[in-house]
Amino acid sequence: MATTLTYLPFALPDIGDDEIDEVVDSMRSGWLTTGPKARRFEQDFTECFGGDVEALAVNSATSGLHLALEALGICSEDEVITTPYTFTATAEVVRYFNANPVFADIDPHTLNIDPSAIESAITPRTKAIIPVHFGGLACDMDSILDIAHRYNLRVVEDAAHALPTTSGSRLVGSLQSDATVFSFYVTKPLTTGEGGMVVTRNPEIAARCRVMRLHGIDRDAFERYVSNRPAWYYEVVGPGFKYNMTDIAASIGIHQLRKAYQLQRRRGEIAHEYTRSFAGLPLVLPPQPNPGELHAWHLYVIRLTDDARVDRNRFIEMMADMGISTSVHFIPLTMQPYWRDTYGLRERDYPNVMDCYRRTVSLPIYTRMTDEDVQRVVGAIRSILE
């Protein structure tokens, strides 16, 4: 008698009773929008990075990137260098200003943006760099920050995958960049369902982001409520946006943040088992972090070599036939119709990006996976490739 194969999803959030109880508490309090829980989440986040930064909760990493670039004064026709091996949000925020993203190829080992390609892409119009910490492995931030210093450029880190991740033994978010933006989308290492955080040590950037995330109003509703000024009175000081985080989302984030290292350790255990089990297969495995550094392991990305019995697309189909969901990170922006056609991008100008894309598969790696789930993925891959 045939049995129905249990489906193993690509990702699942790890939500426990603490998060649920905190959400219920917020709902019973009557304060659902930006309020005491969002403030508490920001304070906790600041403390995680040593207390010498400011953290501003927003409704997505996309809005956080937009706010950070706006605070830096990015204008029409400016250029911002980033990687095409990312989600479209990284580049689209540049277009919000009628500015232009300039794409630099990646390092074929790390899949992060190549600092030498950044330097080659700099023009008199270049104003900023957005490095993306792919999969949770830190970019070569020493080299990137050195380039930024020499050319007087600003740096906004896209750390959507990178919590907690270290570079030079310091947490990404505490480096000398102008701002760092984290994502709390449902599949990310920490989740609030939807949400993000802007972290900066520059008080002027923090002040501008704080005002512009809520319609350009000088005080949010909670601040007006607890202030000595009349609660009904506010002033609009800029043409802002609607980017604030709700207390419902922050309630989840407060407890997710407390579990950050626990969650990272479990993803690290899964990554270690994958790496051990796939030795000898026709695969390029993800690079390990340098000694003493921390990898968030948001993604575990394998690349099929020329010796593999199947190509990437067939591999994904066969995994799905065995009830295992996989993904591809990313379909490069160089291939996406808007970016390709708007900027006349040619695949041959990004050889490392295109080679990686054609071979790449992202495997399930999330904390709710059991050891049996992990071995199921291992067994499936070995059965396909051996």
Among all residues, which ones are annotated catalytic? 188
Closest CA to 256 of 191, 165, 163: 191
What type of residue is 22? Answer: E
311 membership: H or E segment, kind and range? none
Triad 84, 281, 278: Cα angle to 5°? 80
Closest CA to 14 of 267, 245, 250, 247: 267
Query: Which DSSP string corresponds to 338-383?
Result: HHHHHHT--GGG-HHHHHHHHHEEEEP--TT--HHHHHHHHHHHHH
**Contact yes or no for 171/197 (Cβ under 8 A):** no
Rounded distance between C-alpha atoms, residue 47 and residue 37, angstroms: 15
Closest CA to 208 of 197, 216, 219, 196: 216
> Reduced to 3 states, what is the DSSP secondary structure of residue 46?
helix
Cβ atoms within 10 Å, residue 37: 27
Handedness of CA 180, 48, 146, 104 (dihedral sign): negative
The Cα-based distances of 372 to 273, 347, 376 in angstroms read: 12, 40, 6
